[in-house]
Amino acid sequence: MDEELFRELRHEIRSGLDVTSALENRELMKFIERTVFGRSSLQQLTALEKRTLVRRVFDSFRGLDILQPLVDNPSITEIMINSHKDIFIEENGQVSRLALQFESQTRLEDIIQMIVSGVNRVVNESSPIVDARLKDGSRVNIVLPPIALKGPTMTIRKFPESPMTMEDLVRRGALHEEAAVFLQKLVASKYNIFIGGGTGSGKTTFLNALSQYIPPDERVITIEDSAELQIVTVPNLVSLETRNANTEGRGEIAIRDLIRSSLRMRPNRIVVGEVRGSEALDMLQAMNTGHDGSLSTGHANSTRDMISRLETMVLSGADLPVAVVRQQISSAIDIFIHLSRLRDRTRRVTEISEVVGMEDGEVLLNPLYRFEETGEAAGKVIGDLQPSGNALRNQEKLRMAGMSYQPPMGVEEVKN
């Protein structure tokens, strides 16, 4: 599309409206259609081209401008705006640069302000970093100058309209059915589960899938920086979201504030979307004080690394001996699940480990499943999640829930 023609047309439409914002969306769309289809200089365009032009002009007034078609495209999972001239997308696992660009930096800034104001957040030079979300639940991270040197930067992580189920993940090869059934029993039996993985490994997607195994008669409190979780199977659900400080530096509500508040809301389970800092201690204490079945995620390169990162998070907000912190972790968390994004861009569960106490001052893990790569074909990694040969040791919660444990084929059950 001719960008100069588009800008000229949009200016003409804006000039023809006294109060664009006062019109209903349907009225605005009809006004744009009359202008486009009635303009003699556009008669050479096909009906489809005119319809595309109408949609883009409408999006420039009410949508996300050039980003709207990208947000509406279900095959695009990530949109990366490095500056108003520099836009990348991830589609079907492949990252590519687009020929699109905003007409100016000011236009991109207008879109950013529209997004953050829609979720009652503020971003400016004095507070240049913010997390937000779109109306469809997509996660948005924004960084402004002077922190972002090339201009306003925005990253949009999209999520499917309907959350993926564990059956979907099994079909995609993220894990096999035996492991999925095992995890279903653990969630239903109220094991405390922590999901670790790198950026883009699918932690939130997997947490959503696991949450569908929570019994529907329980009360669940979700706590997030920006609301992303889509728990659809639990009617008694409360979703809490943090709040940034205002321009005067007041009014901030952090994750640890929400965790403490949630303890007074009679939850059966607490789901913390992601722990990044000192709130890790509050999460561990909640798990240790009767809120079994809680779930959370964190960034790490391995399960052992996740334990180290949890230690660091706790110590950043509390002056405690390392031995005490490790004891908190070992008594609070029952199961660690680690996700990885492999070199072929697929997301896999690469480890499921049980926490079985302390040994020589370290948190002791009992690996239950590990991903084993067996080769590569046509650029795709071949492999599967395989039993480690160890059985689940702590079966008390399963027994309390009236469930049985069936170890994988060839694994001898632990008698306890």
pLDDT tens digits, 150-179? 999 999 998 777 788 999 999 999 999 999
10, 34, 62 - which closes a domain: 62
Distance CA 298, CA 204 (A): 10
At 135, the pLDDT band (50, 70, 90 cuts) reads confident
- Domain contains 321: yes
Whether 240 and 278 map to the same domain: the answer is yes
For residue range 292-308, what is the model confidence (pLDDT) as tens digits?
A: 999 999 999 999 999 99
131, 158, 185 - which closes a domain: 158
- Domain contains 405: no
- Domain contains 355: yes
Length of the chain: 416
CA distances from 195 to 2, 37, 240, 403 (A): 47, 53, 20, 23
Range of the domain at 147: 67-158
Dump strand ranges (E) for 134-229: 139-143, 153-157, 193-197, 220-224
Tokens of 330: 């070992």
Q: Return the pLDDT at 416.
A: 52
Provide CB contacts within 8 A for 221, sequence distance 6+.
237, 238, 240, 262, 265, 267, 269, 270, 271
At 415, the pLDDT band (50, 70, 90 cuts) reads low
- The helix (run of H) or strand (run of E) holding residue 130 is strand 129-133
Whether 37 and 152 map to the same domain: the answer is no
CATH number, residue 189? 3.40.50.300
At 20, the pLDDT band (50, 70, 90 cuts) reads very low
Helices marked H in 237-316 — which ranges?
255-262, 279-288, 303-315
Whether 334 and 259 map to the same domain: the answer is yes
At 105, the pLDDT band (50, 70, 90 cuts) reads very high
Whether 281 and 139 map to the same domain: the answer is no
Mean pLDDT, to the nearest integer, of 319-344? Answer: 95
- Domain contains 410: no
Range 357-365 contact pairs with CB under 8 angstroms and sequence separation of 24 or more: 357/330, 358/326, 358/327, 358/330, 361/323, 361/326, 362/326, 363/307, 363/326, 363/329, 363/330, 364/330, 365/303, 365/304, 365/336
Q: Return the pLDDT at 269.
A: 95
Closest CA to 254 of 275, 285, 230: 275
- Its pTM stands at 0.81
Whether 232 and 343 map to the same domain: the answer is yes
- Domain contains 248: yes
Closest CA to 380 of 343, 351, 338: 343
Whether 136 and 181 map to the same domain: the answer is no
- Domain contains 81: yes
Tokens of 138: 């997509």
Mean of all residue pLDDT scores within the chain? 89
- Domain contains 345: yes
Distance CA 283, CA 342 (A): 30
Whether 74 and 182 map to the same domain: the answer is no
Number of folded domains that form the chain? 3
CB-based contact 352:368 (threshold 8 Å): yes
Whether 73 and 47 map to the same domain: the answer is no
Q: Return the pLDDT at 207.
A: 95
Whether 257 and 328 map to the same domain: the answer is yes
Whether 178 and 322 map to the same domain: the answer is yes
